[in-house]
Copies of this chain bind each other. A is one copy, B any other.
Amino acid sequence: MEKANPFLGRDVVSILDFSREDLEYLFKVAEVMERFRRSKIEILKGKVIALAFFEPSTRTRMSFETAAKRLGADVIGFSSVEATSIAKGESFADTIRMLDAYADLIVVRHKFEGAAKFASEIAVNPVVNAGDGKQHHPTQAMLDLYTVKKMFGKIDGLTYAVVGDLRYGRAATSFIYGLTLFNPRKIYLVSPPLLRARPEVVEYLRKKGVPFEEVNALDEVIEEVDVIYVTRIQRERFPDPLEYEKVKGSYRITLDLLSRGKEHLKVLHPLPKVDEIDKRVDNSKYAAYFEQAANGVPVRMALLSLILGAELGKVGADL
A79-87, A172-180, A204-212, A257-265: which one contacts chain B?
A79-87
CB-based contact B290/A101 at 8 Å = yes
Q: How big is chain A's contact interface, by range?
A: 35 or more
A134-142, A149-157, A269-277: which one contacts chain B?
A269-277
CB-CB under 8 A from A53, the residues of chain B are 83
Copies assembled: 3
Query: A307 at interface (Cβ–Cβ under 8 A)?
Result: no
A14-22, A38-46, A216-224, A239-247: which one contacts chain B?
A38-46
A3-11, A24-32, A70-78: which one contacts chain B?
A70-78
CB-CB under 8 A from A59, the residues of chain B are 85, 98
CB-based contact B79/A78 at 8 Å = yes
Residue from B46, B102, B271, B273 within 8 A of A66 (CB atoms): B102
CB-based contact B85/A272 at 8 Å = yes
Query: A158 at interface (Cβ–Cβ under 8 A)?
Result: no
Query: A132 at interface (Cβ–Cβ under 8 A)?
Result: no
A89-97, A113-121, A190-198: which one contacts chain B?
A89-97
CB closest chain-B residue, reference A274: B89
CB-CB under 8 A from A226, the residues of chain B are none
A-B pairs with the 4 shortest C-beta distances? A90-B272, A101-B294, A85-B272, A69-B74
Which residues on A are within 8 Å of B, measured CB to CB? 38-40, 45-46, 48, 50, 53, 56-59, 62-63, 65-66, 69-70, 74, 76-80, 82-90, 94-95, 97-99, 101-104, 232, 271-274, 290, 293-294, 297
Q: What would 27 A/B residue contacts be, using CB atoms closer than 8 Å?
A: A38-B104, A39-B46, A48-B66, A48-B70, A50-B62, A56-B82, A56-B84, A56-B85, A57-B85, A58-B78, A58-B85, A58-B86, A58-B90, A62-B78, A62-B98, A62-B99, A63-B102, A65-B76, A66-B76, A69-B76, A85-B272, A88-B232, A90-B274, A94-B271, A94-B273, A95-B272, A101-B293
